[in-house]
Structure 1
């Protein structure tokens, strides 16, 4: 296999990067923030049964609500790509954390559906800016090992997925059984970390691009490899968030697993992210990333379909969730690396912004599409599993293979 081509450029900074003693605490602080970012996404899936009862939602409306925050990410990812370059990484990280944490707090105060929607959209808006800033830091610090470094970030996210469902349930117990309390607790903690990021991230930490350009030549977006990467990102966003948003409800209602069993299986999906992120990134950094992602996509589609086409018990839910998480984690990180490698260095944040827009637009429909494919009763069925998981990943893999041959 041929080594994938990289358009890496040196980190464009007017000053040298901060020393290790400065960077390690900052990276640790960003990792803590990323954990809150991950846990916020779990409150709705874990608490969805209770939220449905409180707000009197039907199954399709509940599925839509479970992934609605991703619409905020999708809508603002393009302007966020420009804002990150204009604000600088320090302010982008701090401000975005404050915005998504305030959205989480608002969700915790919601007594009506419109108020909850507003809170989730605000959370998504902040997370769009945060995602781009975080990824720009990673590719700036590790230009030769992008896939591996982003896989490391995916591992942090996966760890938060593993412990997150049980943490949400524990926080709910702390709040006397109120589903709103985890939102309030994490929103407050997120505000504190946002203020710390504004105070402690060095000003001279810069992204790879020297200056943002809003107007100019956008012909690079017509690159066939880049368009193929965006197709893959759309498939991955749709299927990943279908699982993340509704697996626990599916397991409890349709498969009659207990909340603890469903949360354990979901947590193993997070472990799969950890196992898939760094090792797959390391392999694809040294081989052919494009073809490797295409092969991984086909295998992930098979695993996702297997998870939902048969009746589940605790062991099968754990095993298939773990393997599915490995594929999701590997595709996720390497799509970012491919977007960066197939875009001009001066448009890196914008290329990632487009990727996030595509990924989260697909994700925002995932809950509704999952209910359409699997049915309101959430029973396992072959047709729904093939349509929901195998078809998108197979089509994306075919597009990437066709592009590679062209």
Structure 2
């Protein structure tokens, strides 16, 4: 009896092993990361030994770039949920969808911008270096004694991780171009793409006479690797207004069943208040902003705003995407050209206003100073240490000349999520 039982167990085990082997031999469907050795459409071999095959190399997906957070795409209601106290009616509600993307966890800080200045000072023309310098005089005010910030804020070690300000939209865009080159070089040198390379060559803009030439130079792959290799990260850039607003609202934290959402959000957190609703820090402000006329933080000993001017990065809780300071601290540049009618002329997928298409600048009388709108004015969002709470709502928007700067405006970078369908990864 025992003998027969043992034979039966062995037979069953053998059958299971055969089934496992058979299932493992089943042909696997090709994927973007593992397309297989032959074309599923022609049957021709990839990477043929005779050199005539189409080159489709296997590769391992690159990690996200430094400081980037994955933002899962989806549908959301874009637009201002606050009462339109300014009467601009320039961001009325509409439904749009955003493809998944990456966004910086924090704003670009002084130490990060000084790193950029260091490299271009060594490897670029003096003219380009001077154009890249932030305008530190943005702190100066004839009726305020902010003189120390003019000389100290950018370069003093005590302000290293405070958000960089006095940076124009054009300067921020140049930083993104340089950062793309620098990160790709860094990943290559550390072995992500195999081997080391010439650091000075990779990080340099070259002896270029102007920003346009610098951009062309740094746009080339830093390692002789093509985009097809899969070992070159997509370029860093400023987020679009739709991306920024979507990421700031962080609606991923409001779901409770299927595609239903428990509530919308006025700010990057739940509720209509600006304070911690519970816990040990109950009552503390969730961002730094101007609380009222002449009140930038509260009273000494109970200044629960935490900062009269800017605050160090990560000084307040992150939103549901893990992004810090999407309200308060400093406003942030986005890519879009400003138009008051952007909510009317828009694509409901990855909305973006790149120029005056369907709403040309000639419709606005800027020549006679009856309008400030041109194709050189860019949107900024988020509210700052010097703004009242109204501007911290992600749906509010303002604009400024792309070559202008302010002590209340900084920036962070974004990047496309390659290989993502826009849903969870």
- Common topology (TM > 0.5): no
Q: Which has the higher strand share?
A: 2
* Higher Rg: 2
Question: TM-score scaled by structure 1?
Answer: 0.28
Q: Which has the higher helix share?
A: 1
